């Protein structure tokens, strides 16, 4: 086991998948020479070269469309949104092409691409840099939406997202990048569609995800002092929801927050 920061866990996932599969590539603003706005892609340019770690212009709609085209031809692009709020500039490509092409092509096209990046409040970065857009993309057909919350699940989920044959939006919270956790030395991959019951209980079911997982952990400490025994679930997969895990818990507690 090795202590690893969350942003380094993400980097390790990308590095391992690029090493394992030559069709995996990275593109986005400052992902190459600079190593990404939060250093998730640091040193990958030097290791894999400019054809697999591509610095793009500040044109989200254009390079997202380029990634869709690359995915159709058999590559597995990883798009880094310098900030997830900027995905609004690429909404047309994500919704009308990445999400729909598998269906509108009658199953002839697969779109194995990942769109990942930071978002969330707490860094005094201004409104356009602090958004969480999960709800915007819920209605888009064909997308999978995942939100990591720990270094452990960040690495395992990102590896699974890269291997998936569908477009995956991978949401990271900017205030979790320096979270530290023990990671196994051996390779592991986590399922994209499974929630995690991170505390067993019987009085009430608490549903949470991303940074709020850690606020819930602190809140549970206070609830325990008052005699409550809550069950807490990290949703992880926001689309599709793991209704089996959620339903099993609610059938037990009969209450949900």
Q: Can you tell me the distance from the alpha carbon of 21 to that of 114, in angstroms, rounded to the nearest whole number?
A: 15
Using the Cα atoms of residue 110, residue 116, residue 121 and residue 127 in order, give the sign of their dihedral.
negative
Domains 2-183 and 196-253 equal at CATH topology level: yes
Q: What is the pLDDT of residue 122?
A: 66
**Beta strand 196-199 pairing with 231-234:** antiparallel
pLDDT digits (tens, 9 = 90+) for 113-122: 999 988 877 6
Q: Can you give the residue ranges of every domain in the chain? A: 2-183, 196-253
pLDDT digits (tens, 9 = 90+) for 55-112: 999 999 999 999 999 999 999 999 998 888 888 999 999 999 999 999 999 999 999 9
Residues 6+ apart with CB under 8 A from 114: 76, 77, 78, 79, 158, 161, 162, 167, 168, 170
Two structure tokens written together for 16: 């391992």
* CATH topology for the 2-183 domain: Rossmann fold (3.40.50)
Q: CA Rg, the chain, in Å?
A: 18
* CATH topology for the 196-253 domain: Rossmann fold (3.40.50)
pTM of the model: 0.95
**Beta strand 76-80 pairing with 24-28:** parallel
Q: Can you tell me the distance from the alpha carbon of 16 to that of 13, in angstroms, rounded to the nearest whole number?
A: 5
Q: What is the pLDDT of residue 82?
A: 86
Give the residue numbers marked as catalytic.
Answer: 60, 129
* Residue 234 backbone dihedrals phi, psi, to 5 degrees: -90, 115
Q: Can you tell me the distance from the alpha carbon of 206 to that of 190, in angstroms, rounded to the nearest whole number?
A: 22
DSSP 6: H
Two structure tokens written together for 75: 């590559």
Q: Can you tell me the distance from the alpha carbon of 5 to that of 9, in angstroms, rounded to the nearest whole number?
A: 6
- Axis crossing angle, helix 6-20 with helix 151-163, rounded to the nearest 10: 30
Q: Can you tell me the distance from the alpha carbon of 33 to that of 89, in angstroms, rounded to the nearest whole number?
A: 24
pLDDT digits (tens, 9 = 90+) for 158-194: 999 999 999 999 999 999 999 999 999 999 999 999 9
Q: Can you tell me the distance from the alpha carbon of 117 to that of 183, in angstroms, rounded to the nearest whole number?
A: 21
pLDDT digits (tens, 9 = 90+) for 18-70: 999 999 999 999 999 999 989 999 999 999 999 999 999 999 999 999 999 99
Using the Cα atoms of residue 131, residue 134, residue 135 and residue 138 in order, give the sign of their dihedral.
positive
* Residue 254 backbone dihedrals phi, psi, to 5 degrees: 65, 10
């Amino acid at each position: 086991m090795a202590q690893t920061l969350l942003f380094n866990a993400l980097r390790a996932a990308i590095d391992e998948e690029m090493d394992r599969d030559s069709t995996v590539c990275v593109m986005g603003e400052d992902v190459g020479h600079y190593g990404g706005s939060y250093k998730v892609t640091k040193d990958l340019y030097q290791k894999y070269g400019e054809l697999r770690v591509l610095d793009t212009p500040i044109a989200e709609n254009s390079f997202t469309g380029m990634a869709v085209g690359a995915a159709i031809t058999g590559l597995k692009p990883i798009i880094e949104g310098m900030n997830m709020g900027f995905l609004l500039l690429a909404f047309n490509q994500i919704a009308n092409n990445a999400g729909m092409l598998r269906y509108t092509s009658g199953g002839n096209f697969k779109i194995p691409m990942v769109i990942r990046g930071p978002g969330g409040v707490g860094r005094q970065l201004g409104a356009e840099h602090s958004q969480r857009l999960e709800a915007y993309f819920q209605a888009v057909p064909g997308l999978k939406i995942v939100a990591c919350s720990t270094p452990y699940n960040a690495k395992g989920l990102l590896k699974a997202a890269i291997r998936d044959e569908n477009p995956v939006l991978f949401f990271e919270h900017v205030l979790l990048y320096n979270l530290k956790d023990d990671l196994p030395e051996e390779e592991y991959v986590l399922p994209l569609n499974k929630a995690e019951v991170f505390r067993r209980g019987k009085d009430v079911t608490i549903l949470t995800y991303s940074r709020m997982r850690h606020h819930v952990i602190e809140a549970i400490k206070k609830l325990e002092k008052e005699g409550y025994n809550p069950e807490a679930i990290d949703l992880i997969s926001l689309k599709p929801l793991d209704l089996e895990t959620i339903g099993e818990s609610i059938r037990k507690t009969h209450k949900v927050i």
